[in-house]
Amino acid sequence: MKYMMIVLLEFYPSWLALSREERRNHAASLQQITQKYGQYVKVRFFDAEALPGDDYTDFVTCETEDLKQYHYMWEEIRDSLPYTQGYLKIKNVIMGIEGAFQSYEAEVLKKGN
């Protein structure tokens, strides 16, 4: 099954107080973590601060068939300097399963007939 997570993030003013070079370096370190899991998790980053949104400034989409690797990726992100220094926080995660009801119908309902 394919899972999709939309991870809502809030970057704090302390992040914006960093120079753009420091922010680029921190962003690169986060991207290195996501690339490490790239075989298992497809990750895309979006800036949303200038657009309508409630309680988040950015979001990340994560698509995977391996929830364990997704979890491990976020554990590493939570151990990273940008997270531990309080520059950002995970505000919410929206999760869904692609084609879930079709899988149920194909696997469960056919088994019962």
77: tokens are: 């992100």
Domain annotation for the chain: domains and CATH numbers:
2-112 (3.30.70.1030)
Bigger pLDDT: 7 vs 53: 7
CA distance 54 to 91: 10
8 Å CB contact between 88 and 9: yes
For residue 75, pLDDT beyond 50? yes
pLDDT band at 69 (very low <50, low <70, confident <90, very high): very high
pLDDT on residue 111: 63
d(CA 111, CA 104): 10
pTM attached to this predicted model: 0.88
Q: How far is residue 68's CA from residue 27's CA, in Å, rounded to a whole number?
A: 23
Residue 96 is predicted with a pLDDT of 96
> Is a pLDDT exceeding 90 seen at residue 61?
yes
What tens digit of pLDDT does each residue of 7-46 get? Answer: 999 999 999 999 999 999 999 999 999 999 999 999 999 9
82 within 8 A of 26, measured Cβ to Cβ: yes
pLDDT at site 49: 85
> Does 101 score more than 90 pLDDT?
no
Beta-carbon count within 10 A of 57 CB = 19
Alpha carbon distances (Å) from 92 to 39, 58, 74, 97: 24, 11, 13, 17
